[in-house]
Amino acid sequence: MRRSDRRFTFMLQLGVSAVALFTGTTAYAQDSGDTPAPAASEQEIVVTGTRASLGRALDLKRETVGVVDAISAEDIGKFPDQNVAESLQRITGVSIDRSGGEGRFITVRGFGPEFNTVLLNGRLLATENSGREFSFDILPSELLSAAEVYKSATAEQQDGGIGSTVVLRTARPLDRSGFHFSGSAAMKFDSTRDKASPVVSGILSKTNADDTFGALISINYDKRISRFSNVNTSGWIDGQNLDFDKDGTVDLANVALPRTYNTTVERNSRERIGATLALDWIVSDQLKLQLDALYTQLKVDSWSNQLGFYTDPGDIIDAEADANGTVTHFVRSAGGGLASDNIVFDSPRDAKTYQIGLNAAWTPTDRTSITFDLSHSRAKEGNTSVFYVVGARNAGVNPTFDLNPGALPTITNILPTDDPARAVLHCCSERGGIVKDDITSFRVDGKQDFDGTLKAVRFGAVGTRRKKDITSLLTPDPLGCFYCGYFASADPNLFAVFNDRGVLGGAPMSWLTYDPRALAQYYGSAAAVGQKNDPAAEAAFNAVYAANGHSLAPAFDPRGSGSVRENNAAAYLQAELGGEFGGSREWNAVVGARYVYTDTLANGNSVQLLGITQNPGDPTAGVATFSSPVPVSEKHNYSYILPSATFRVDWTDDLVTRFAFSRTLTRPTLSNLTLSKSYDFRPPQSNTISSGNPGLKPYLAWNADASIDYYLGKASYVSVAGFYKWVDNFISQVTTTETYFGFDFQVTRPENTRKSKVYGFEAAIQYTFDTLPAPLDGLGFSANYTKVKSSTSFDPAIIAGTFSVEGLSDSANAVLFYEKGPVQLRAAYNWRDSFLARTRGLNGQPENVDSYGQYDLSGSFKITPQLAVFGEVVNLTNKHRRTFSRYDERLIQLDDTGRRVAVGVRANF
């Protein structure tokens, strides 16, 4: 049994045993008459549902001195959305990035995922990504009880989040007295496939008779089967000078061409498993212990068939461009330069995350409390993927590309793409990697209460050790590109015909598909290798192929491998003050400072580029050779003081204003701190070298926040907030041109470059129509809008621009709900304006995400007080996600991820 499976099994057994133990204890006590059941009038009434959820979230907003928004579960195990990120996007100022149609990363007030610190029950969670960004899609929403987004900072808060600090909370057993069970079972349907998949979850909790000990365990299983499709260009290559007649005269200067044009169909299966365990023990009036454990696994299996057409500017004989220099039409030479590439690849994902934490709260006196917290979190993702290409030359015809702005691009005047007799070997590789993230943290927090204006003093310290290991795997040379150049015929018996059924409403197309394993075996056969007609190259291939287990399996790649160890220490002191003025008006303030110290150690491998061999049969391919790797390491450290001050004035019981000032930091994302280097040789103008920079300084920001809230009822309010951030040490991918062996390379390295101001405002309203006559008193709605701007905006006309603030976009949400008697309905709309995702993305060009709006519906009906049926539709109108390069017409990718429908039953006892 694997170690992760043993942990999961142990956690389940421990939780079930604890619950069973105290279930049995209580039953025995009741049977013996020691603990009589409380009278009906003494039983606790637990209010649930949408209104109760909104009320609990609003209570946190009322009580907090700073700027915060939250989401609370409607009932135990019932978060508003099936995906945590999709719930968070309902919060004012929060936007999400989607993967496979599901929310994965969050952006808060324009600051992307690496700028937001994510805590589970107050503890830092490891992430399977190579950087700091946390993937919310690994967490089943049924495991959470609340999510809080703190937008202003205080000294006691965990540092690291210029955008926000997100605190996710799981349910606690002592929050509910006695025995409780909540479970649901549903079937999920995806509009892109004709198969249904199950979703099952359950939460079981039990406390002893005097509510001094409680145990809770929750489990979740979620599977989704889907069929995604897209068209993409792999970005654009800029600055091209086209010579139609090949006479040395430029006919079309300084234009941009699509790097390739691909049609892709992906069969995708996502399986998510999650479980939590919580133990609460009130040892005495002075000591309370809490144990928390979490385990999640997200496994994605995907296979894609792709038909691709790679662009070579050298064989274009005619073209047209628009006013932005975007080529909208070009014709290729009939000399057979263009190949129809039949590509098979997969994009697996196997992310495992766990966290365990122990908390001890000691209150030696009524005015003094000290909390100790020890936690460990680990995340790991390991996978290998294949990418195989079999081509077919289009000799004797003039392939023609049309961009068709506003519609799908097309390739015409090509030979049939589904003829196995024309199949020719090209390239293949298997690659992958292992990412491990380990976080161990110990924290001490103290509080001393006082009378008078000084209400309390908080103090504490925390130490955290984090290590990110990245292992790169790659098919060893010369196996990957041995057949580059389309010179070796393939065995027609290896192929079948794949039909895409019409991607994104386009005409149906057919091309070749095959088993990559069978193809890899043919690659190593004498019939294939002998077509090279180069004995020395054939001998080299055969030697490496044999040493690699007669396969193209990936091997350790030292160039892309390395680790970053980061030790962080922090200490803080914070005063809480308050009083009255002008009669009955109240004021509160939190003033403090936090000292942070960080030291980093990056380890990697250094290699030298020794030579480049360009394939004579393919001007867009080549192989580089490198020296043996030499281990290298680099150390750095820094420290800062982060002051903060937050003020709240309660002008009336319903009208509150807040002002907050703070200095915050975000450490460079871990993937930018590595010493690893990656090389890509793809002429023309796609020769790149990318590396990390362990010497990066953290982002530093001075922040100012102001808000005014007017509370209209238990679950109703109106709010307006403004924010201003002065951010220094922005990190940009700086690119310079370097020449190696006669080839120009675009060498990119992250650097601290510029400072910028980010500012904007938020407006929100939430209202329940409780005073309307029945049945209209069940209505309610919420809406919010966020406007974000920067002092350094992106200008597509500036070709050489090296800095722009990425991720900034306006956003809005609207939710209409109805809850009356057994009926609960909700309609939601989420919108995010277009934004710059990366200043230097594919081929060194910008990547933008188009504006996106999505409708979701959900509803439930209670058959009995304990049993309900429910349904949900996500992405009702099947909105497509679109990305583009420097200008809108330069399409990068258009995705169809379909809509999701779930129907099921929920039980509570």
**What backbone torsions phi and psi does residue 92 show, to the nearest 5 degrees?**
-55, 130
CA distance 728 to 629: 36
Question: Given pLDDT bands bounded at 50, 70 and 90, which one contains residue 801?
Answer: low
CA distance 445 to 459: 6
CA distance 225 to 873: 15
Nearest Cα to Cα of residue 744 among 756, 735, 732, 733: 735
Contact between 49 and 72 under an 8 Å Cβ cutoff? The reply is no
Instruction: Find the DSSP H helices in 1-123.
Output: 3-32, 50-63, 84-88
Q: What is the pTM of this model?
A: 0.87
Write down the residue that tokens 């059941």 correspond to. Answer: 37
Question: Given pLDDT bands bounded at 50, 70 and 90, which one contains residue 579?
Answer: very high
Q: DSSP class of residue 614?
A: E
CA distance 372 to 446: 9
Write down the residue that tokens 């890899």 correspond to. Answer: 520
pLDDT at position 622 = 65
Contact between 109 and 788 under an 8 Å Cβ cutoff? The reply is yes
Question: Given pLDDT bands bounded at 50, 70 and 90, which one contains residue 615?
Answer: low
Angle at the Cα of 646 from the Cα atoms of 640 and 647, rounded to 5 degrees: 160
Region 722-736 average pLDDT: 88
Give the mean pLDDT of the chain.
Answer: 88
Give the percent of the chain with pLDDT over 90. Answer: 67
Helix-strand-coil percent breakdown of the chain, rounded to 5?
Answer: 15, 55, 30
Q: Pick the most confident of 243-247, 602-606, 700-704.
A: 700-704
Question: Given pLDDT bands bounded at 50, 70 and 90, which one contains residue 48?
Answer: low
Q: Which amino acid is at 51?
A: R
**What backbone torsions phi and psi does residue 176 show, to the nearest 5 degrees?**
-135, 125
Q: In this structure, what token pair is assigned to residue 322?
A: 């628009």
Burial of 455 (0-12, 13-18, 19+ CB in 10 A): middle
The string of pLDDT tens digits covering residues 438-461 is: 999 999 999 999 999 999 999 999
Contact between 658 and 78 under an 8 Å Cβ cutoff? The reply is no
Question: Given pLDDT bands bounded at 50, 70 and 90, which one contains residue 685?
Answer: low
Across the beta sheet with 410-412, the strand order is: 316-321, 327-332, 400-402, 410-412
Write down the residue that tokens 């020395």 correspond to. Answer: 536
Q: Is the pLDDT of residue 6 over 60?
A: no
Q: Is the pLDDT of residue 33 over 50?
A: no
pLDDT at position 276 = 95
pLDDT at position 892 = 97
Q: Is the pLDDT of residue 29 over 60?
A: no
Q: Is the pLDDT of residue 431 over 70?
A: yes
The string of pLDDT tens digits covering residues 582-604 is: 878 999 999 999 999 999 999 98
- Contacts of residue 686, defined as CB under 8 A and 6 or more positions apart, other chains included, come to 237, 259, 680, 843
Q: Is the pLDDT of residue 287 over 70?
A: yes
**What backbone torsions phi and psi does residue 187 show, to the nearest 5 degrees?**
-115, 135
DSSP string, 564-590: EEEEEEEEEEEEEEEEEETTTEEEEEE
The string of pLDDT tens digits covering residues 232-246 is: 999 999 989 999 998
Q: In this structure, what token pair is assigned to residue 363?
A: 């209150």
Question: Given pLDDT bands bounded at 50, 70 and 90, which one contains residue 193?
Answer: confident
pLDDT at position 557 = 87
Q: Is the pLDDT of residue 42 over 50?
A: no
CA 258 vs CA 215, 239, 308, 767: distances in Å: 58, 12, 12, 49
pLDDT at position 320 = 96
pLDDT at position 799 = 59
Task: Give the distance, in angstroms, between the CA of residue 154 and the centroid of all CA atoms in the same chain.
Answer: 26
Contact between 488 and 424 under an 8 Å Cβ cutoff? The reply is yes
pLDDT at position 82 = 74
Question: Given pLDDT bands bounded at 50, 70 and 90, which one contains residue 86?
Answer: confident
Q: Are strands 102-108 and 852-864 parallel, antiparallel or unpaired?
A: unpaired
Question: Given pLDDT bands bounded at 50, 70 and 90, which one contains residue 745?
Answer: confident
DSSP string, 531-574: GG--HHHHHHHHHHHHHTTSS---EE-GGG-EEEEEEEEEEEEE
pLDDT at position 757 = 93
Angle at the Cα of 547 from the Cα atoms of 688 and 559, rounded to 5 degrees: 25
The string of pLDDT tens digits covering residues 866-901 is: 999 999 999 999 999 999 999 999 999 999 999 999
Higher per-residue pLDDT: 331 or 736? 331
Region 424-437 average pLDDT: 90
pLDDT at position 471 = 92
Region 379-396 average pLDDT: 92
CA distance 458 to 574: 5
Nearest Cα to Cα of residue 646 among 576, 747, 565, 566: 576
CA distance 112 to 809: 11
